[in-house]
Amino acid sequence: MWPSGPSHGLTRSGSGLETSDEQLVAAWRQAGDRGALDELAVRHLTTVRRMIHSMILNDAAADDLAQDVLLRAFRSLDGFQGRSKFTTWLYRIAMNTVHDALDRRRRSPIDDRAEVPRDAAMRDAGVGAEVERDECDGAVGRALHALPPKLRAAIVLVAIEGLDPAAAAVIEGCTRATIYWRLHEARKRLAHALREQMEP
């Protein structure tokens, strides 16, 4: 799956502390250590996949895109200059990949199969708090899916993933002020959509 090279099992530094992402990148560049790529994948696949799923709301597509993001990143490691954290660089690749996928969806709307509403099936499966929670999740998912991708990205990066707005701005290739505006606008639209869905 990853670029070929010897595996030396590099996961920890000589001091016993966990090797940084940047040290793993250096290990790959200097010695072709496949173990370094494996460690980077283990560390970041779950977050990258979760971030992508929050953007596209489709399990199968999120799985495929997460794998694609890691492959793109690992094939482009020579382009990582260390001017930002490795995670910021990786998440930018992830969000660029997602924006490209969403652009393709808009051009081919028949392929837009976001897996948002699960609440109908859950109503048949049970009652009570679990159903209410799933109905709420479904409402949030529908409201999130209705946001334009750039507004959705701001919410995903800052509110869901907990990134600093400055990092989100680097990832999205915009200013911090733009991220703050997108967050404000996204929250306003989400609140409006949720009020409409929740009204009896």
d(CA 91, CA 112): 23
Q: What's residue 122's pLDDT?
A: 42
Q: What's residue 135's pLDDT?
A: 58
Q: What's residue 145's pLDDT?
A: 87
For the segment 82-141, what is each residue's pLDDT rounded down to a tens digit? Answer: 888 999 999 999 999 999 999 988 887 655 445 544 444 444 445 455 545 555 666 778
% pLDDT > 70, the chain: 75
Q: What's residue 72's pLDDT?
A: 95
Coil, strand or helix at 12: strand
For the segment 57-79, what is each residue's pLDDT rounded down to a tens digit? Answer: 899 999 999 999 999 999 999 88
Q: Name the region of 57 (left: φ>0; alpha: ψ -120 to 50; beta: rest).
A: left
| Residue of 102, 105, 114, 91 lying closest to 151 (CA atoms) | 102
When pLDDT is cut at 50, 70 and 90, the band that residue 7 belongs to is very low
d(CA 157, CA 182): 11
Q: What's residue 4's pLDDT?
A: 53
Q: What's residue 59's pLDDT?
A: 93
pTM recorded for the entire structure: 0.77
With tokens 């990143």, the residue in question is 73
- Asked if 66 contacts 52 with a C-beta cutoff of 8 angstroms, the reply is yes
**Between 177 and 198, where is the model more confident?**
177
Between CA 121 and CA 125, with CA 123 as vertex, the angle to 5 degrees is: 70
d(CA 88, CA 138): 29
Side-chain-side CA neighbours of 106 within 13 Å: the count stands at: 10
Q: Which domains can be identified in the chain, with CATH numbers?
A: 1-115 (1.10.1740.10)
% pLDDT > 90, the chain: 56
When pLDDT is cut at 50, 70 and 90, the band that residue 200 belongs to is low
